Amino acid sequence: MKLLADLFLVIGALFCFLGALGLLRMPDVYNRIQAGTKAVTLGSLSLLLGVGLHHPDWWSKLLIVGLFILLTNPIGSSTLARAFHRAGVPLWQKGGHGT
């Protein structure tokens, strides 16, 4: 159980790191939204699962935080993408000007 919890903690931190790396490497605002939202959401949920396996008596608060992240993070990123699209942020073209 302890080993599984440590595994989930390391996986969560790794996914958060990869999401931030994708945020730095992607060429476009919309690509950065994808990288920075999906991977970091999965990483945060995995971190919550790891902490919950370490301390099973904290499950109610961890469940609330996890459900909140799972509900609001996609809503926030989709609202951001819609706002950028309506404000006229251009899409990235391969070989175009915005590399």
Partner 1 sequence: MTLSIVEIVVLVLLGAASALALLRLWIGPHTADRIVAADTLSVIATGLIVVFSLLFDSPLYLDVALLYGVLAFVGIVALARAIEGERS
Provide the strand spans (E) within 1-99. Answer: none
Residue 93 binds partner 1, judged by CB under 8 A = no
Residue 10 binds partner 1, judged by CB under 8 A = yes
Residue 32 binds partner 1, judged by CB under 8 A = yes
Short-list 34, 7, 24, 70, CA closest to 62: 70
Residues 37-76 binding partner 1 (CB under 8 A) are 37, 40-41, 43-44, 47-48, 50-51, 54-55, 58, 61-62, 64-65, 68-69, 72-73, 75-76
CB under 8 A, 24+ apart: contacts of 80-85: 80/33, 81/30, 81/33, 84/29, 84/30
Task: Give burial (CB, 10 Å; 0-12/13-18/19+) of 29.
Answer: middle
Report residue 28 as tokens.
Answer: 């476009």
Where along the sequence are the contacts to partner 1 (CB under 8 A)?
Answer: 6, 9-10, 12-14, 16-17, 19-21, 23-24, 29, 32-33, 36-37, 40-41, 43-44, 47-48, 50-51, 54-55, 58, 61-62, 64-65, 68-69, 72-73, 75-77, 79-80, 82-84, 86-89
